[in-house]
Amino acid sequence: MKYARLTKEQFEELHQEFINFLATQSITADEWKKLKVEKPDVAEQELDIFSDLIWEGVLKKVKFLEHISPKQLMLFHISEAFMELIAIKIEDENIDISTDYGYKWLQQNLHDESVNLYTSTKAISDDRNKDIFVLIKQGAVITKGELYNYFSDLLSE
């Protein structure tokens, strides 16, 4: 397995896609029930293969990721060749930017001495999707890039 098995909830959400996947494997509903009982290891492999296919489809479309923690905001823009990062670190112990109050404080105090902004660019490895998946496993979420674009515009002024 290259990525991670989908959760029970994700499988339920993708029920029809999973049925279609089994059909491409020439596995009927009755055969699937039988497979789960008689050859659970084969059934597990099918779940893993399907999970990887879904992850591949999702990851190849990712262009932006965000990772927000109490003291850091990490915004990623991912192209085919590069990953650009805008990182904001807060040194003020009283501010938690993962709260509404803390985020509003950050917006109003970007030039405060306790706010540090960093930018970085690195080349994507040969396995772009794996690079993205590692960031997701570390807590990043896929976004449409509004925050990245907001801060990118601020930095270019």
Tens of pLDDT, residues 22-55: 999 899 989 999 999 999 999 999 999 999 999 9
Number of domains forming the structure of the chain:
2
| Integer CA distances (angstroms), 135 to 29, 41, 81, in order | 36, 29, 16
Quote the domain boundaries for residue 134: 64-156
pLDDT, tens digit (0-9, with 9 covering 90-100), for 88-97: 999 999 999 9
Q: Please check whether residues 83 and 53 belong to one and the same domain.
A: no
Q: Please check whether residues 102 and 88 belong to one and the same domain.
A: yes
Q: Please check whether residues 47 and 106 belong to one and the same domain.
A: no
Residue 3 counted as domain residue: no
Give the ranges where 64-115 is alpha helix by DSSP (H). Answer: 100-108
Residue 93's SS3 state is: coil
Q: Please check whether residues 32 and 91 belong to one and the same domain.
A: no
Report d(CA 77, CA 56) in Å as an integer.
18
Query: Is residue 80 pLDDT above 90, yes or no?
Result: no
Six-digit token string for 22: 């089994």
Query: Is residue 18 pLDDT above 90, yes or no?
Result: yes
Report d(CA 5, CA 93) in Å as an integer.
38
Query: Is residue 77 pLDDT above 90, yes or no?
Result: yes
Q: Please check whether residues 104 and 36 belong to one and the same domain.
A: no
Residue 14's SS3 state is: coil
Rounded percentage of the chain residues whose pLDDT exceeds 90: 80
What is the model's pTM?
0.85
- Which of 59, 74, 96 is at the close of a domain? 59
Query: Is residue 107 pLDDT above 90, yes or no?
Result: no
Residue 26 DSSP class: T
Query: Is residue 157 pLDDT above 80, yes or no?
Result: no
Residue in 154, 3, 147 with CA at minimum distance from that of residue 65: 147
